[in-house]
Every structure is written in C-alpha cells, then in structure tokens.
Amino acid sequence: MDGGFAASKFESTVKAQNKGRTLYLASKSPSVPNLNEAFQSDVRPRISPGRGQSQLNVLSVTEELTGSSVIDLYGDEEDEQDEQGDEDEGENQEDEGTDGLASDNPRSFTASPSVSAPAGNISSRDLSHYDRYGFKKHNSHISQEEYHAWWDDYSRYCVRRKRKWQDLLEKSGLVSVNGVPDRFPPRSEKLKRYVRKGIPAEWRGQAWWYFARGQEKLNKNKGVYDKLLAAASERSGKASGRDLEVIERDLHRTFPENIHFQRQPNDTEEPLMIQSLRRVLVAFSVYNPKIGYCQSMNFLAGLLLLFLDEERTFWMLVIITSRYLPGVHNVNLEGVNVDQGVLMLCVKEYLPDFWPKIVPKQHARNNEFLYKLPPITLCTASWFMSCFVGVVPIETTLRIWDCLFYEESHILFKMSLSMLKICEQDIAAARQNNRALRSRTLSKDDEDIEIFQAIQTTPKKLLDPQQIFDRILFKRRFSLNNLNQEEIDRCRKYVTSQRLKLKNYADIMGNRPSANENAKRDIKMGPEFVESALSSEIYGFRRSLTAAHWNNSIKEKVRQIRRK
Amino acid sequence: MLQFKLVLLGDSSVGKSSIVHRFVKDSFDEFRESTIGAAFLSQTVKLGKHDDVTIKFEIWDTAGQERYKSLAPMYYRNANAALIVYDVTQPGSLLKAQSWVEELKHKVGDQDLVICLVGNKLDLCAEDPNARQVDIDDAQAYAQEKHLLFHEVSAKTGVGVAQIFQEMGEKVYEQKTAESAAAAASRPRKAVNVELQRPSTNDSTTCCA
C-alpha cells in the first residue's frame, strides 16, 4: 500500500463526509461505544436483577445524551446493599462542604449528540464476550472465569463510586446535563482522591476533557481541526507520504479485538471508528510535522475515540503529546530516551533493591545508564509511548488515564515504579513456589530473562485496578508515593542536558581526524569516556555527577513536603 | 543451557511479531496490534544436528517504524543473531531490510553476528501469483553476497518458520563452540575465563568498576 493510495482513501472519506455535512457535524462522534446491549445482556442482570426490562429503552435515550459515551452502566439507584463496604474506601471522615463551583471554565460545553453504534450489526454477534467498551473480555492472560469473578465485585465498586461522585457534584452545586456533568469541582485533595478511585465510566470523556483543559485549547483553535482535514484532503503536501502509509497500515492494527474497530460481516464500508481514527491521525500529522505520525499514537487516539468525539480526540492527542509526553513521539524519539533515563533515576532512588538487578554495575557508575539505557527500558518505553494502553487491561488503563489528566505526567512514572514493584514481588513469589528455582542460583542471563518476562506479562494480568491503586498508590509506606511532578520536571531537565552533553562530546570525539569513522561508538562509551564527558571543562564548568548529588535534591524535596 | 540473544528487525507490518508468535506459540492472528517499542519472548530449540542439545533464544521483537531505528542500538547490543524480515509483496520492504543489514555490519561490526534474511507472506503468493513483488532469486543473490542465511516463509501457514530458528540455532551454537575451543587452545591454562559461559551479555561479568 503506497502513500498515494492512503491519501486517496483519505480524500474519499473526507468527501463522503462533506457530502453529508450536516450529518457529519451532528455526528462528529461516531465513536460512541454504546455497547449497552452487550453490557446489559451480560452484566446488568447480575447487578440489578428485576430491572432488565427497563433497559431496553436505554439505546433510544442515548441519542439525546451529551458527548459522553458509555451510559448508565451500573444502575444508580438500586443495590442498597452495596452501601456497606464503603468504609474500606475511607471517605466518611472527609471534610465536607468546602467545594465551591469551578469558575475557570465559564463556557458551558456544547456537546454534539452522540450516535449509537449501528445496533443491527453488533447485535448479530455474541456480545457476551465483549466488555462495555467493546473489548474482548478474556485473552491469553485472563480467563473468562477470572474476568467474571473480578467484574462481579468491580462493577459494584463502580456503582458505589458513581454515587459518591454524584453526591460530591450535588454538594458543589454542579448539575449534570442528561446525567453527564459538564463541569467538575475545583481541584482539591478530596477531588484527587475521587479521581484516583476512578471517574465514572460514562463521565470519563467529559472529565478528561475538563481536567486536561481541553476546552481552553479548543477555544483558542476554533475551526482548526476542520481546516486541517481540508488541507489534508487537498494533499497540500504537508502530510508526508511516508506517515500516511504507516497510518494506513496501523488503522487495522489498532484494537483489532475491539468490536468498534472491526468490520462487521455485512459491512461494505469501513467501521466509522476506523474512519475517525484515520482523520484524527492524518490531521495530527499535518498539524505537527515534528511528530507527524508515531506508532503508539494510534492507540492513544483509538482509546480517546471511545470516549470523546473526533475533534476533541484530536485536541487531547495534541495535549498528551505536548504537555504530558514532550518529545516522546518526535521523529528522533529523544523524549523516549529522556523519560527512560528519568525512570531509571527514579528506580535507583525509590526501588533501590530492584536497581542492581536491571543496571549492570559498571553502567551505574557516573550515571552512564542515562546514555546507555539498560535493556529493561526497551519494554518500559512502550508504557510511556502509549500511556499504558495495551500494556495493562482496559479498566486499569482507564484508571491510570483518570489520574494522568488530573495529576499530569509524574503519574506515569509512579505507575511504572508500582508496576516494577509488582513485577519484583511476582518474581520473588514465583521463586518461592518453585523449589527448583529456590535451590539454584540463577546465572545473570537467567535472571535477565526472568525479569524481562515478568515485565512483559505481569502488567497484562493486572485485571483488577485495585491491585495497583489500593495496594501501592494509596499506601503511604511506599516511598515512591513521594514522587511529584516538580521532581519529574527537574529530572527531565537534568537527563536532557546530560544526554546532550554526552552526545556533543561523542560527536566531537567522533569527528577528530584520527578517529575511525566506523569506530563502534557504543563501545567507545566506556567509563573513562563518560567520565571525561561529564566532568569536562569544555563546557565551562566542572561538576561532580555522583548519584549522591541527585539524591540530595530529592531528599531535600521530601523534607520540604514533610514540613508542609 | 546456552542462551543466545536474537533481534528481529524490518519495516513496519512485514510480519515480525507474527513470525515470532508462530515460532513461540504456534499461532497466528490476521490482525495483530502494532508493536510499540519492543516485545520480549524466549523459546528453546533442540538441535538435532548436535546431539539434541537444547539452546534458548532470548528474542527481542521490535517496532518497525523508521523512527524507532534510533532505539535500535539498544536492541542489537550484544546480540548473537538477527532476523531481518521483509514482505515478499512489498519491494520497498526489501530495501529497508538491506539498510538494516548495512547498519548491522557497520555498527555492530561483529563477524560472529548471525544474520538471516527472511521474506514473509509467502501465503499471499500462493493465493495470487501476481502478488509477489520481490523475486526470490534477487533476494537470495543478495543474501549470498552478504553471507546471510536466507529463507522465504509464511507466518500465516507456518511454512518455513521453524527452519529459520533451527538453522540460526545451529549456526550460533557452532560458532560458540568453535570460539570456546579456540579460546581454550590459545589461552594459558591457569587463566580460566568465566566469560565463556556467557554468550549473550558480556557486560556484566567484568565486575567492580
């Protein structure tokens, strides 16, 4: 498939879309995962037996709802018995009534009515295998039984949490339009706690948009998305053919297991979701040529499309790639290397027992690992690039995204540290259970494989978000919870400058006439090399870059926090 | 058990992940999610040619998009084997494969690195003879010239996949044993070298900085 083909395909969808202009405007959100039927047929009856009949109307109600997607999934009013058990969520003692009305976003959001997914197509399939977002419930890591056992509890938890949210909004004097709030209370410790415990699924799109200040961005860029689409369809040459080609290849490799991304047997057209995804990604590649298209953005946009309309998905993608993950998707991927360097610094600081297992001793010296990233970062890089989409099961991903938009990027580092901690525990547990392993001392190679394997598979089994949220994120005793945004910002700056310094130095060394052009630069980066680069006076100052230097700044930070 | 590090390289959607999954799990999905960063898998191979000795491949499956190339040195650092994949229906992907060969020969410069060039999606040619865009003779000639192993396979049907890994396994094993023997012969007896036991990461034994 060449770029030309991709472009012409894009043109035709834009044309089709222009022909039905009104239709397009009204339905900018083809995205809506109204898998209510699926959801009801499977879970609903178990949550609220005896209310099954009334659910048949839900689909028609959806048409009038605001931009958000998944609707009334839990049955709010029933299940009084679920009230019990809330003490473990620990909110009863919270201060109340301090929440006022947020005024930073006075413009009320005008949502386009959502369009139900063509029910006819979907109902022809066995929907009981799909969750409320259209993802397959079980896979090679999670059995159907495991899924149901977990969902039985977790869906009740979601009902309880939604009720809490409703109370909170009411107390804050916020009304919801057709069941979906368009504004949220101002930032507070309490709200943060609520967000960490999960935003109600049917409000997620709206909440993410609100917390990430999407409307602000959109207001400054009115009409830009449509112009980008027009520009792309005219093939103004801004979108590189190469990007279009890769986008085209990735469209059907984005959530191929999700029902909304699949072509139904009798469909002649592509799924609406795929068409939207193409438009968002192509528009983005025109909008930001520094990034163009980077594999992994298909998953970011794909997930956003399940919760937001196309235009808002586009702006959220802009926000994610610039505010939360600066440089990560750029053509040279330097942002990936920087963030992985930062993550390694964090591991060293917060998971000191795990640290020696992943970074060879000689690379730990002089922070050489910032330049020569350890192999483990090959796995962890994708955690950042796709913000955990596809790394952990969907409900866990969504809980991470809730926090991301409220707490910004340091949450990705915190999650990564938590994940590594769980991996570490898994490895230890596996050894305990395996007598052969316990009695044998593993070679370094075996140990490496053990770690890589755990890092690869452990996250995929994190079906229950509580495993990470309750057991780690809410536990004060884990020092990694001290990590904050300021620290990450500082580390990012530090790693960026260190890498730049080493790169410049390597360039200078490499360009000396005596140096062999084809010399293996990687091998040349020995300890002496790094040492001379980092303590070099070429750059005007001499600095000691021992780990202690960096750690002290963290300790100081922690002290400050404690004082507060 | 001897372990060897193997990397998969090649253009996006030529079927790198599908080949690994065929080899490791003997399964195939028509639509497989794009690989982000890299995926890690391991699998053992029994070498019939060498008294059924079993070796283990530590496999790094990589993302194919051009820009991921900047992460590549991380993948092929200390690799013993590289599988460079192209799609027999996409001539551009062979060019990409050739540039990978150049990069490996250039940057790694390790004479011992076993490289195998693999043309995938053979099943498409069986379905439609016109689908083939890369002539097998051309690819083979190139492989010979560069001293690469060469195979055409189909991850979908499984044809040829097991042979790739079998052949690569034999080759890396033969090299390792030859190397060990040569090292043992050339070294004075008392200097026993521990590193010989460790084919894939020669970094970490050299202790104490």
Tell me, yes or no, if A176 comes closer than 8 A to chain B by beta carbon.
Answer: no
- Residues in chain A with CB shorter than 8 Å from the CB of B59 are none
Tell me, yes or no, if B60 comes closer than 8 A to chain A by beta carbon.
Answer: yes
CATH code of B2-179, in short, is: 3.40.50.300
- Residues in chain B with CB shorter than 8 Å from the CB of A520 are 107-109
Report the alpha-carbon angle A266-A268-A270, nearest 5: 110
**pLDDT grade, residue B208 (50/70/90)?**
very low
**pLDDT grade, residue A109 (50/70/90)?**
very low
Tokens linked to A371: 């330049």
Give every CB contact of residue A526 below 8 A, 6+ residues apart in sequence: none
Question: Is the distance from CB of A280 to CB of A258 less than 8 angstroms?
Answer: no
Whole-angstrom Cα distance, residue A4 to residue A188?
Answer: 51
Q: Give yes or no for residue A31 having a pLDDT over 50.
A: no
Question: Is the distance from CB of A474 to CB of A196 less than 8 angstroms?
Answer: yes
pLDDT at A444: 81
Which of B16, B21, B31 minimizes the C-alpha distance to A250?
B31
Tell me, yes or no, if B33 comes closer than 8 A to chain A by beta carbon.
Answer: yes
Burial A227-237 (b: 16+ CB within 10 A, else e): ebbebbbebee
Q: What is the pTM (predicted TM-score) of this model?
A: 0.80
What ipTM was predicted for this assembly? 0.87
Q: What is the dihedral of CA B15, B20, B21, B24, to 10 degrees?
A: 170
Domains of chain A, each with CATH number or no CATH: 3-24+220-324 (1.10.8.270), 36-79+111-179 (no CATH), 333-564 (no CATH)
Strand order in the sheet with B149-152: B38-47, B53-62, B2-10, B81-87, B114-120, B149-152
Name the more confident of B157 and A431: B157
Chain B interface, best mutation among A367, A388, A522, by max B CB count within 10 A = A522
Q: Phi and psi (nearest 5°) for A136?
A: -65, 135
Q: What is the pLDDT of residues A316-371, one digit of tens each?
A: 999 999 999 999 999 999 999 999 999 999 999 999 999 999 988 878 877 888 88
Share of chain B above pLDDT 70, in %: 88
Strand (E) or helix (H) holding B82: strand B81-87
With CB atoms and an 8 Å threshold, state whether A381 touches B38: yes
Give every CB contact of residue A268 below 8 A, 6+ residues apart in sequence: none
Whole-angstrom Cα distance, residue A426 to residue A422?
Answer: 6
- Residue A347 is classified by DSSP as H
Tell me, yes or no, if B200 comes closer than 8 A to chain A by beta carbon.
Answer: yes
For residue B160, give how far its alpha carbon lies from the nearest alpha carbon of chain A (Å). Answer: 25
Residue B88 vs residues A245, B4, B69, B94, B97: alpha-carbon distances, Å:
17, 28, 22, 8, 11
Q: What is the pLDDT of residues A111-152, one digit of tens each?
A: 333 333 444 445 556 788 999 999 999 998 999 999 999 999
Question: Is the distance from CB of A229 to CB of A285 less than 8 angstroms?
Answer: no
Extents of the domains making up chain B: 2-179
With CB atoms and an 8 Å threshold, state whether A445 touches B58: yes
Question: Which of A140-144, B187-191, B195-199 is predicted with the least confidence, judged by mean pLDDT?
Answer: B195-199
- Residues in chain A with CB shorter than 8 Å from the CB of B70 are 332-334
Tell me, yes or no, if A289 comes closer than 8 A to chain B by beta carbon.
Answer: no
With CB atoms and an 8 Å threshold, state whether B58 touches A448: yes
